[in-house]
A and B are shown apart, each in its own frame.
Chain A
């Protein structure tokens, strides 16, 4: 038998030199969220990346222009399905800014508590899913167990685990349940201990650290130029947090710190999120201490609030008011405003334009992960194919919000 490599020349042993095209997604098991990345690879190195979104576009902004102001709440839930309460509160605050309404103190504390619970759930989902994509399944289960406790509280309060639709213009749908503070105090301890377990497991794991450290680096100047906010911006060392820089609700009255990173890599984003969970627990403790047990949670403003059911059924004024608010919607004064809060991923902005009717003229959401995903192609360029998974995981793209 002839040896096969006898007359082979050196050049024939080289692999073809033209770049390989690869479609990653839109439904790839290692990527959470529907996003497609069209890659041009040289070997395993990424030479060009085109991140394509829009697979979850549901015309949120168009839908909002068809109903009343209050009918936007269910849509806001579905924008961000890991921290819907933050979107609910963000939208409520935006409409209240336009109507010039301030909700009672008790409601502000309550909104903060629910918001921080949602933030914990967001960060647990993100960090847990990221670990899972790198093969660490156990910490994911612990984090989901912790998230389950958060969801149990939210279910107890709102009646729904995921899409609460609990915000109202001028208040919340219901006051806190009598057991609320007790539930929160009870679960935060447990959440912290689960978090610690998961953290120990991951941060002493060489494989996990190696895959995150110095992967997906971004400089602070680039992050700002790319309009990044939230944990991803803070991982670069910039301490911009809406809760500190422009306090809303009662954030100026509670004590918490803003964790920042130094390198701006995926590991920093992971660590910043874990620290933020601890800070959220700190805020929750203070809220539980300071929130009153009695008192109204809704603003006493007949322009936007539905009357009490007793009044609706027994008085003609109540019936009329209820009918007008439901059928025509609350009349929001003509004007425009931009209201911003700190969502799970960064600055969640609502730019509202009202023409004075019961239907919004324009509802623009500024989703934090839209601009963050916009920077993805920049930070994976020149890296290896396998780096996409942890980098994308650490950005925490929420498809519903990113694609509107």
Chain B
């Protein structure tokens, strides 16, 4: 059904559709980020596509690729009951400079999804009316879902107390020691990089 969609996209946008595949029943098109909004508008407004609903918009990080980040968009047509996954690759090898057009004008629901993707991956959406963090607090530094963001890093809003400040012995000092709790080391990328990390 929606393989025709992919054919239509290739026909209409030619070289801007970089890659297509249909795997496990999901049809995917990887497109040129420069034409992102144009392609989205076409998918929404073309009567044969009729993608009235933006189901999901999220990011994904592939640290060994350049461009490193992917913006993944899932579209659905309620009337025609077909789905399409649209992806665009953005950002350099350090996930810097990731920018793409916002699609809030096309689907109002994109507003929060784009804010979340910005919050988690640092992708900037050009033309978004209100691009600020949504899940993390404004003082937070970095983007937590990047593979290079250490999973065991803490950023407390109020600094942890030391024993000198408290004036009494504290039973436990935070952040907790490396030898405590679950090892976050199944895959590397953690801050400490000591013996608790590495192969589990």
Q: Which residues does A use to contact B, with CB under 8 Å?
A: 52-54, 57, 59, 61-63, 65-67, 97-98, 100, 222, 224-228, 238, 240, 245-246, 327, 335-338, 340, 347, 349, 351, 353, 359, 361-362, 364, 366, 370-371, 373-375, 378, 403-404
Contacts and interface: CB of A to CB of B under 8 A. Distances in A.
Interface stretch (B5-13, B91-99, B104-112, B169-177): B104-112
Nearest to B64: A355
Interface stretch (B33-41, B129-137, B158-166): B129-137
Interface of B: 23-26, 28, 52-56, 58, 60-61, 72, 74, 78, 81, 83, 85, 107-113, 116, 120, 133-137, 144-145, 147, 149, 151, 184, 186-187, 200
B95 to A, nearest CB: 14
A230 to B, nearest CB: 12
Given A335-B24, A359-B186, A224 B52 contact: yes
B24 A225 contact: no
B109 A359 contact: no
B135 A67 contact: no
9 contacts: A53-B134, A63-B151, A65-B147, A65-B187, A240-B78, A336-B26, A337-B24, A374-B112, A403-B135
Determine which residue in B52, B85, B186 has the highest number of CB atoms from chain A within 10 A of its CB, and name it.
Answer: B186
Given A53-B134, A327-B200, A224 B56 contact: no
Contacts of B109: 225-228, 371, 374-375
Contacts of A336: 23, 26, 28
Contact of A370 (B107, B112, B186): B112
Residue among B55, B147, B151 facing the most chain A CB atoms (10 A cut-off):
B55
B52 A338 contact: no
Nearest to A246: B81
Q: List 10 tightest A-B contacts by C-beta distance, closest first.
A: A227-B109, A374-B112, A54-B135, A366-B56, A57-B135, A226-B109, A225-B108, A364-B58, A337-B24, A371-B109
Contacts of A338: 26, 56, 74, 83, 85
Contact of B24 (A67, A98, A327, A373): A98
Contacts of A340: 55
Contact of A335 (B23, B52, B151): B23
Contact of A54 (B136, B147, B149, B184): B136
A238 B60 CA distance: 32
A123 B11 CA distance: 46
A224 B186 contact: no
B107 A66 contact: no
A189 B24 CA distance: 41
Given A66-B151, A364-B58, A225 B107 contact: yes
If over half of A's interface residues share one DSSP class (helix, strand or loop), that class is named, otherwise mixed; here it is mixed
B134 A54 contact: yes
Given A225-B52, A374-B111, 4 more contacts: A227-B53, A238-B78, A340-B55, A349-B56
B40 to A, nearest CB: 13
B60 A362 contact: yes
Given A97-B24, A351-B72, A359-B186, A224 B55 contact: no
Contacts of A52: 134
A54 B134 CA distance: 6
A98 B147 CA distance: 22
Contact of B55 (A222, A238, A327, A347): A347
B56 A351 contact: yes
Contacts of A246: 81
A62 B145 contact: yes
B144 A224 contact: no
Nearest to B61: A362
Contacts of B133: 54
A258 B7 CA distance: 34
A206 B145 CA distance: 49
A220 B23 CA distance: 32
Indicate the member of B61, B108, B111, B113 with the most A CB atoms within 10 Å: B108
Contacts of B187: 65-66, 359
Nearest to B85: A338
B26 A227 contact: no
A12 B177 CA distance: 63
A323 to B, nearest CB: 13
Given A349-B74, A362-B60, A366-B55, A57 B136 contact: yes
Nearest to A355: B62
B144 A59 contact: yes
Contacts of B78: 224, 238, 240, 245
A349 B145 contact: no
Contacts of B107: 225-227
Contacts of B111: 374
Contact of B137 (A54, A61, A245, A349): A54
Contacts of B149: 62
Contacts of A63: 151
Contacts of B116: 370
A69 to B, nearest CB: 12
B186 A351 contact: no
Contact of A227 (B55, B136, B137): B55
